[in-house]
Amino acid sequence: TMQPTSQPTPGPTSQPTPRPTSAPSREPTQFPTTPPVPEPTIRPTTAPTLEPTPQPSPGPTISPSAAPLPDPTLSPTRAPLQVTDSPALTPSETSLNDLQEYLSSISTHDNGEALENDWSPQYLAMEWLHADPSFEEYSLFQRMQRYVLATVFYSTRGALWTDSSRWLSSADECFWFTGLPDDQQPCDSEGRLTNLDLRSNNLMGEIPPELHLLQDLVRIHMPDNDLSGTLPSSLKNLGKVQRLQLTRNRLGGTIPSLTGMSTLTVLGLGRNWLTGTLPADIGGLTKLNTLGVERNRLSGTIPASLSSITTLSNLNLDHNFFSGTLAADWYDYPLDLEKISLNDNNFTGTVPPVFCGIIDAFISADCDEIECACCTECCYGGEDCVAV
């Protein structure tokens, strides 16, 4: 009374009289001498009326897309899914709590506090990383590096970037979009990120403090965006950074101490909303070549330590609220300055004679407020500047 089905189960042994039947379109020509076995009922060429089902089976007529088995070429921890920009969370040998514990241990700036907030950029980055189908294959270093970059993405509204090609994909992070010229690479030969370049890419939001975990960074270049918030004090731990260029954003707050950035040559913070004074220990940036803080809301006097930077050649202080007597405060400045912009501030006195001894230097100042016998540009009322 039992009819054969597509289910590959052996026929009953208690009733020997029923003969195993085959597919309706073909009469069986041979009878097994033993109880029925699965083969006669699923023959790929003799069952035209049977429809393939998602039942796992080695039969060659079943479409590969219907088999719920993982690709045998993938490691057991990978899911047989097409990788997308937002992969679904999949089981992993390392639990999400394990990953959170690891990331908290390296987040010395806040001991992982941000990871406790389910909606923070840090938590979203951690969740994305754990869902990566290749997560278990990454070294601890690569897990950290991908986590930091994902945090940058979520912190600066990466979904609205002008170009976010390959970001948060399964591609190696060294091949994610970068603003670098074609002849430059974002990573070194060991896959460590050295250049973070996202210039003019519609970044909105704050610079995450986790950036300091990328200890091999040499260049941070994110000018001409819409970054806000404050400069993370943790940036001082980036001892290899030579260029920090954040000009033309909406960064506010004060400039933190950056003395740990001992190799810094270019500090570009102009055209932001920075307030307060220049850090008193700014003279510790002994390799600084360019200091640009123009067009902010900075005030106070110029730190005496600035005169100890003998490598300084470009000093842009214009359009702020700096004050002080130039001749008294700036007598010992180095003679290697090539450009000095002092205009639209509250300085008084006379431009130091040492500046006038610099051959071919560009010197801009408010000539209606201070005496400047050697200025190459005089400004009146801040904006009306003329060459002299």
* Angle formed at CA 118 by CA 115 and CA 120, multiple of 5 degrees: 65
Q: What is the pLDDT of residue 357?
A: 73
Contact 130, 89 (CB under 8 A): yes
Question: What are the start-end ranges of the E strands in 286-370?
Answer: 290-292, 297-300, 314-316, 321-325, 339-341, 346-348, 362-366
29 pLDDT more than 90: no
> Which of 3-7, 293-297, 366-370, 384-388 tops mean pLDDT?
293-297
Query: Torsion angle of alpha carbons 56, 61, 63, 69, nearest 10°?
Result: 30
Is pLDDT above 80 for 356?
no
Write out the two tokens for 296. Answer: 């902010």
Q: Give kind and range of the element (H or E) at residue 225.
A: none
Mean pLDDT of 133-155: 97
Is 88 a residue whose pLDDT tops 70? no
pLDDT more than 90, % of the chain: 60
Beta strands in 178-288 (DSSP E): 195-197, 204-206, 219-221, 226-228, 243-245, 266-268, 275-276
> Is residue 268 within 8 Å of residue 244, measured between CB atoms?
yes
Residue 152, helix vs strand vs coil = helix
E strand or H helix at 39: none
Residue 142, number of CB atoms within 10 A of its CB: 17
Please list, in sequence order, all residues whose beta carbon lies within 8 angstroms of the beta carbon of residue 50, skipping any fewer than 6 positions away. Answer: 6, 23, 42
pLDDT surpassing 70 at residue 298: yes
Per-residue confidence at 359, pLDDT binned at 50, 70, 90?
A: low
Residue 121 has pLDDT above 70, yes or no: yes
| Sequence-ordered strand ranges (E) for the chain | 195-197, 204-206, 219-221, 226-228, 243-245, 266-268, 275-276, 290-292, 297-300, 314-316, 321-325, 339-341, 346-348, 362-366, 377-380, 384-387
- The helix (run of H) or strand (run of E) holding residue 121 is helix 121-131
8 A C-beta contact, residue 291 and residue 312? yes
Q: What is the DSSP string of 41-97?
A: G--TTT-TTPPP-SS----TTS-GGG--PPPTTS-TTS-SS---SSPPP---SS-HH
> Hey, how many other C-beta atoms are within 10 angstroms of the C-beta on 276?
15
Written as six digits, the tokens of 266 are: 């270019």
Gyration radius (Cα) of the chain, Å = 34
Rounded Cα distance, 83 and 78, in Å: 11
- Burial tier of 149 (Cβ tally within 10 Å: 0-12, 13-18, 19+): buried
Whether the pLDDT of residue 304 is over 60: the answer is: yes
**pLDDT value of position 202:** 98
Distance of CA 211 to the CA centre of its chain: 8
- Indicate whether 70 pLDDT > 60: no
For the segment 273-288, what is each residue's pLDDT rounded down to a tens digit? 999 999 999 999 999 9
The pLDDT of residue 116 is above 80: yes
pLDDT digits (tens, 9 = 90+) for 7-26: 444 444 444 444 444 444 44
Residues 62 and 77: their CA atoms lie apart, in Å, by 25
Token duo for residue 311: 């490598």
DSSP class of residue 25 equals T
Determine the longest span between alpha carbons in the chain, in angstroms. 120
Q: Give the start-end residues of each E strand in 181-238.
A: 195-197, 204-206, 219-221, 226-228
At residue 200, φ and ψ (nearest 5 deg) are 45, 50
pLDDT over 90 (residue 41)? no
pLDDT at 179 over 70: yes
Quick one: which of 271, 225, 280, 224 has its CA closest to 252? Answer: 271
Kindly report, residue by residue over 185-205, the tens digit of the pLDDT: 999 999 999 999 999 999 999
